[in-house]
Structures are given as C-alpha cells and as structure tokens.
Amino acid sequence: MFIIASLDVAFHLRHNLEAFIWYNGPAIEVFNKTSSWINVVKMGCYVAQTFVGDSILVRTIMNSLGTTLNISFADIPMLDRLQSQLVGSHPPDSIVARNYG
C-alpha cells in the first residue's frame, strides 16, 4: 500500500508540475486530457489501492468473526508474492486476535 500510495503522490506531483510550470497555457487544458498517460496510471494506482485495501479489510473482518474465506492469497499469484515479501513465507495470525486476545 505504501509503494502504491507513493507512486500515486509522485504522479500527482508530476501532473501538477506539467500543468502549472511546463505548460504554456491554461492549466485546465492539461487536467481535461483524460486520455493522457499520467491520468491512466493514476487511475491504475487508485484501483490497485482500493483492491488491496478492501482485501485487507475483508480478510481482517472475516478473521475477527471466526469465519474463513474460501480464497487465499495463494489463489492470486501476485498477492501471494506480495504477502511473502511483506511478512515472510507464513501468513500472520489475525490482526484482531493478536491485538485483542
């Protein structure tokens, strides 16, 4: 999430620099170009952040309720690699169970 959010902030900064510093004309023209590569990448960052954040939230809630999901990070290869890079090869126990007993 931190990496995706950092990329999103960097692309917003780049877009603002392009609109207010480098472009000779009204800034609104730069922001209205919705098919610009930078707008597409920013939307991709937004979708990725939303997907990862919602997945974490759903998994935490399901773990706190004592139910299990029939899907794991291993079912989605990209998330499995991300999880093993962040927390090691074994998934952590429920965040709620660890913090609140």
Rounded to 5 degrees, φ, ψ at 50 are: -65, -45
Give the model's pLDDT for residue 76: 64
Mean pLDDT per 10-residue segment, the chain (101 residues): 92 94 92 90 93 88 75 61 63 48 44
pLDDT of residue 97: 46
9 half-sphere exposure, CB direction, 13 A CA radius: 6
Please tell me the distance from the alpha carbon of residue 12 to that of residue 48, in angstroms, as a whole number.
16
19 Cβ neighbours under 8 A, 6+ residues apart: 27, 30, 31
Say which residue the tokens 């609109």 belong to: 19
Instruction: Tell me how far apart the terminal alpha carbons of the chain are, to the nearest angstrom.
Output: 26
What pLDDT is recorded for position 66? 77
Distance CA 58, CA 46 (A): 18
Q: What is the DSSP string of 36-54?
A: SHHHHHHHHHHHHHHHHHH
pLDDT of residue 68: 66
